[in-house]
Amino acid sequence: MKPQLLPRKSPRQARSKALVTAILDATAQVLVERGYAGSSTNLIASRAGVSIGSVYQYFPNKDSLIAALRERHATDLYDTLDAVLTRRNPQSLEEKLSAIVHGWMLAHQLEPDLHRVVEQEFPFFERAHQDQIPIYRTIVERVRQLLEEHREQLLPDNLDLATWMVLQTIESLIHAATTTTPLPVHQPAAIEQQIVEMLTRYLQVVNPR
């Protein structure tokens, strides 16, 4: 039987939003310190300084809390990507890929310990569930639109598949660099450059007709 991953309800007022933020922050802290098996809703409530009833008002169980953290990460990722793309205002496809990879790297450096715990220890929320997160679908659509804008420069005809390849390459390599086999602090720029070169060669960018 699959666990209930959706929250009971969404906060609407500033006070309730602050409460949910405190609960999720506490969830992140407890997960990093104790791992999935050592965490519980009682510990999370205690760390957040709220009653267990306040937790259950929004989240039915521990798994729904972790799912909410995954969604918050996706939102942070999108916001970071959007900020980098806006600041850099890239024009060429390679420049856009570079901006996306850089934004992805920045987002994954925010809470690497939490990402490691969630990815490695949360037994139910597999990568397949990413498509159920609206903000993640927005990221997919944005990358596909980017490829569409440069279609005449690309070798792949199937842009849906090309989008999947681009996103999986970025996510897998940056996840490995920031959480699985962390690189020295002076290496992020080098790995970003290598990812962009890899993607550019896969897409086989040519001069536009």
Q: pLDDT by residue (tens digit) across 4-54? A: 556 566 767 888 889 999 999 999 999 888 988 888 999 999 999 999 999
Long-range contacts of 6-9 (CB under 8 A, 24+ apart): 6/64, 6/67, 7/58, 7/59, 7/60, 7/64, 7/68, 8/56, 8/57, 8/58, 8/59, 8/60, 9/57, 9/58
Of the listed ranges 62-71, 95-104, 136-145, 150-159, the one predicted with least confidence: 62-71
pLDDT digits (tens, 9 = 90+) for 140-163: 999 999 999 999 999 999 999 999
Pick the range with the lowest mean pLDDT from 75-79, 134-138, 175-179, 190-194.
175-179
* pLDDT (0 to 100) of residue 49: 94
CATH of 10-60, one of 1.10.10.60, 2.60.15.10, 3.20.20.30, 1.20.120.450: 1.10.10.60
pLDDT (0 to 100) of residue 72: 86
Buried b vs exposed e over 16-42: b needs ≥16 C-beta within 10 Å?
eeebbeebbebbbbbbbeeeeeebebe
pTM: 0.79
Burial 47-59 (b: 16+ CB within 10 A, else e): bbebeeebbebbb
Question: What value does the mean pLDDT of the chain take?
Answer: 84
Kindly indicate the confidence band of residue 183, based on its pLDDT and cuts at 50, 70 and 90: low
pLDDT, average across residues 152-175 = 92
Q: Which fold has domain 63-203?
A: Tetracycline Repressor; domain 2 (1.10.357)
The residue extents of the domains of the chain are: 10-60, 63-203
